[in-house]
Amino acid sequence: MAADAPMPSDSLRELQRRLGRAPPPPDLVAEVLKTVRTRLAANDGAAVIPLLETLIKRAGETAEVLTLLGHAHRQAQSLTAADRAFVAARRLDPTDPMLALAAAQTRYQLGRPAADAFLAAGQMQVPIQGHLQRVALGNAAQARVSEGDAAGGVALLQAELARHPDWMEGHRLLSRLLWVTDPGADGDVALVAALAAMPTHRELWLAWFQTAAQVRDWTKARDILDRAEAACGDGRDLQAARLFLATEGGTPDEASRMLEQTADLQGDGVALCRVRALLRQGRAAEAADLAWLQTRGPSAMTFWPYLSLAWRMTGDRRAAWLDGSPPRVRSVDLPFDRRERAALADLLRRLHTLERPYAEQSVRGGTQTDRSVLLRGEPELQRLRRRMLEGVADYVAGLPAQEDGHPLLGLRRDRLRIEGSWSVRLAGQGFNVAHTHPAGWISAVFYVALPEPEQMGPSPAGWITFGEPPPELGLPLKAYAEVEPRPGRLVLFPSYMWHGTRPFADGERLVVAFDMQRAAPGAA
């Protein structure tokens, strides 16, 4: 067994047995704590919760053990229990900044006020104070926005960026928050001020370019790159940015020219530009060859969806192997009555506080919540989480046998954990553009509230579609599956599968969606 491999479950039971009834000796306590940390490093905290609870019973509470218990509960996505453990640990050690930060993060994820707790954690004195303060400050800014104080959250970032204009994550976060909270604000002010002080800072120029490219303002993006080159000189980073600009916002001739000029550039982002450009140019076989190579790397889940399109374009039978024939889409009606759905809808509406979705999101004509809604503490959301996970378990049980190398079938099926969850609220004419979820394994959407039939419009208005490519690629491929939404319906599908929704005429379309966490291949 590798040195960093988790101990088998029977070894954990043996450790628990050895704790016995009497206070354990120090060497056994040290062995238990080492085992716990190994499991936590492997993201398997759920397995050590009973061991830690037994240790507390035998040896009493310490800040160290309670902190580990809190992290174990976090990994098990039992955030209410994690909060209790962190609160108890902080009573014993109120000066540990990392513990304070973990406690604040848990409160934030549970949907409780956390901005002040983040700021307090960032003000504690530690050797890595600068890094910790910025992490805490960024989290505090997001918490302020979630708590209804958007101006306060923005002000925190602006003040820190005035002192430290080279804080790149702060610039990105400020631009994102201004976009969703104050559509009339100039999101470039901090970046422009920073570049005035550091005109040759290449990363600042690229961050500014990304803010323009994210919203497809190609004229502005081109001007930024021209100014960046004048200030800093050319370089591979600017060449990669120009490749993106040419392939996504330029003419076909410009795209072809940049593809030739940057043939020596490497990287996942460059490869994605090339795959998308090849598909646009009708060179699907070349796109398939390049995407296939990229599925062997760390960004594989970004490229599987494009490989699906390329294989379908070339008539390759592997498209059916990848997506399923019929596609691996399943719907199930969960046992939620009208009263439960109404209570859930009222709660979700209160969480939709942003002015518009983040620029990188697929929502058009609506809003999307922040944080992971299924990890919050409200009973309505916890009930929904349990029932949705039951639906996922049924979906997984119905999948074909495990198959090495397949992005859905080749992964472990014993760890059903949520990667992310959110609510989308669309108004009339709203929809989701075709997209995928590269961080997920299995994705799902649950319909909480829908327009009345006379508001929705004729079918397939408001339906979810699968297999239809992004329209900007210009591919002659149609959706190969469409599912009608119904209140209480859960629709499940592979996270790499292209999906979007049809616009509807009027009313409100309110859903909860989530991704399941990817788990590496291998036996449990």
What DSSP string runs through 465-493? EESPPPGGG------SEEE---TTEEEEE
Question: What's the CA gap between 110 and 437, in Å, rounded?
Answer: 23
User: What is the predicted pLDDT for the residue at 22?
Assistant: 81
User: What is the predicted pLDDT for the residue at 231?
Assistant: 97
What pTM did the predictor assign?
A: 0.92
Task: Answer yes or no: are the C-beta atoms of 492 and 524 closer than 8 Å.
Answer: no
Question: What's the CA gap between 283 and 417, in Å, rounded?
Answer: 39
CATH of domain 330-517: 2.60.120.620
The amino acid present at 272, given as its one-letter code, is: L
- What lies within 8 Å, CB to CB, of 311 at 6+ separation is 288, 318, 319, 322
DSSP three-state, residue 225: helix
Run means of pLDDT, 10 residues per run, the chain, 524 residues: 47 89 90 96 94 95 98 96 98 96 97 96 73 92 96 96 95 95 90 96 97 95 97 96 97 95 95 98 98 96 98 98 97 96 98 92 95 95 96 96 96 90 97 97 98 95 98 96 97 98 97 92 53
- Is the Cα dihedral 272, 273, 277, 283 positive or negative? negative
Neighbours of 524 (CB within 10 A): 9
| Two tokens, residue 154 | 């923005």
Peptide bond connecting 326 to the previous residue in cis, omega within 30 degrees of 0: yes
Alpha carbon 473 to chain centroid distance? 24
| Two tokens, residue 474 | 């210009």
The amino acid present at 49, given as its one-letter code, is: I
Task: Answer yes or no: are the C-beta atoms of 7 and 39 closer than 8 Å.
Answer: yes
Task: Answer yes or no: are the C-beta atoms of 350 and 414 closer than 8 Å.
Answer: no
458 secondary structure, DSSP code: S
Nearest in space to 509 (alpha carbons), one of 429, 399, 441, 426? 426
Q: Which residues pair with 491 in a beta bridge?
A: 331, 445
User: What is the predicted pLDDT for the residue at 523?
Assistant: 41
Task: Answer yes or no: are the C-beta atoms of 327 and 467 closer than 8 Å.
Answer: yes
One-character DSSP codes across 298-364: TTHHHHHHHHHHHHHHHT-THHHHHHTTTTS-EEEE----HHHHHHHHHHHHHH---SS--TTS-EE
* Per-residue b or e along 91-124, where b marks 16 or more CB atoms closer than 10 Å to that residue's CB: eeeeebbebbbbbbbbbbbbbbebbebbbbbbeb
Task: Answer yes or no: are the C-beta atoms of 338 and 449 closer than 8 Å.
Answer: no
The backbone torsions φ and ψ at residue 296, rounded to the nearest 5 degrees and listed phi first, read -90, -5
User: What is the predicted pLDDT for the residue at 415?
Assistant: 81
Question: What's the CA gap between 452 and 130, in Å, rounded?
Answer: 53
